[in-house]
Homo-oligomer: A and B are copies of this chain.
Amino acid sequence: MAGLCTQVGGRHGVGRHVHHPVVSRRSPPPHGFSPVDRVAPLTSKRKGNAMQVATELSYASFQTVYNVLSFALASMIFTALFLLISQGRVLPRYRNALVVSATVCGIAAYHYFRIFDSFRDAYIAGGAGQPLGADGLGGLTYALVAGDGFNEGYRYVDWLLTVPLLLFETIAVLALARSDARSLLNRLIPASVLMIVLGYPGEISSDVTAKLVWGTLSTIPFIYILYVLFAELSKSLDRQPAGVRGSVGRLRILLIATWGVYPISYLFPVLDSFGLAWFGGEESFVLRQVGYSIADVLAKCLYGLVIYKIARLKSFADSADFAASEGEAPSSEKQAA
């Protein structure tokens, strides 16, 4: 294989050949961030930046986003595996809720893998590849460079797949009558798709008015879903076995608490444009990444584990034999405890 050959004019106007080794897909692209062929990072014209991707990050900001994305990735992978491995620990009738929860976390793991790589490749440290002095890493600055860029579309693709599944797993674990479940899903799933599709144009727009209009439109199905689910979970409390009520109650709170983070993260760039300094540029970007990531971990991993716990408690309530084989006290004792 012959390598590509690029001629770059030197500062002193004399060409010279330096053969770089062939680089791997995994290494940051050879943007030639050396003093001689250094190119200017993407210009930061005020407010022309799609998705409000920060054009420059400090070392601390870079590390924060880097680590929070990795944290979300690890959480998704291992929650998915845990839920798959723990199939045998609930009765067959609840296993579909677990499989769907695991699928949600698995799909999210895939997207966080992509988001992590996308972020790492989108920013390049100033003087990349050059030895650092005693200052070490702390003084580095990372620039957004021309290339694939940091792709936030992954988040929306992820939500488009996982939010309907999250709704499905919630209905599945409640073990409602088939016709009730179908009627709920027929209302919730189209609403969730509408919510995500309406949110996307606002996310990619750099115009505050567009952001607010699309955000408001997206909020209508968002509130509808929360209202229906909250009402349905509350109604189903009476039908749940005594030991399960507490967990279903917590699921209801978790739903409101975690879903609420998404619109807040969405609004960070808007707060920025209102002149709230703390939300300016880089901070707004970092906060949005941290906010979305933590909300995803709560809404998918923690939610999945609560679903698992509900499935397990309902399994014990449904079958004393199963409870005994799992070393659980019979339900009379459990209620007394």
What is the interface of chain A, defined by CB distance below 8 A to chain B? 1-39, 41-51, 53, 55-56, 59-60, 63, 66-67, 70-71, 74-75, 77-78, 81-82, 84-86, 88-89, 91-96, 99, 102-103, 106-107, 110-111, 114, 120-121, 124-140, 143-151, 153-154, 156-158, 160-161, 175, 177-179, 206, 318, 325-329, 334, 337
Contacts and interface: CB of A to CB of B under 8 A. Distances in A.
A70 B16 contact: no
B18 A6 contact: yes
B49 A114 contact: no
A20 B17 contact: no
Contacts of A35: 39
A151 B137 CA distance: 10
A47 B19 CA distance: 36
Contacts of A121: 27
B92 A92 contact: no
A9 B10 contact: yes
Most chain B CB atoms below 10 A, which of A71, A85, A133: A133
Q: So how many copies of this chain end up in the complex?
A: 2
Most chain B CB atoms below 10 A, which of A23, A85, A328: A23
A59 to B, nearest CB: 7
A70 B117 CA distance: 14
A286 to B, nearest CB: 14
Contact of A134 (B7, B44, B85, B103): B44
B10 A133 contact: no
29 contacts: A1-B2, A1-B22, A2-B19, A4-B21, A6-B30, A8-B16, A8-B18, A8-B34, A9-B15, A10-B10, A23-B23, A24-B29, A25-B25, A32-B129, A45-B134, A49-B135, A50-B136, A56-B131, A67-B151, A74-B110, A74-B158, A81-B103, A82-B99, A89-B96, A92-B327, A93-B325, A125-B147, A125-B148, A130-B146
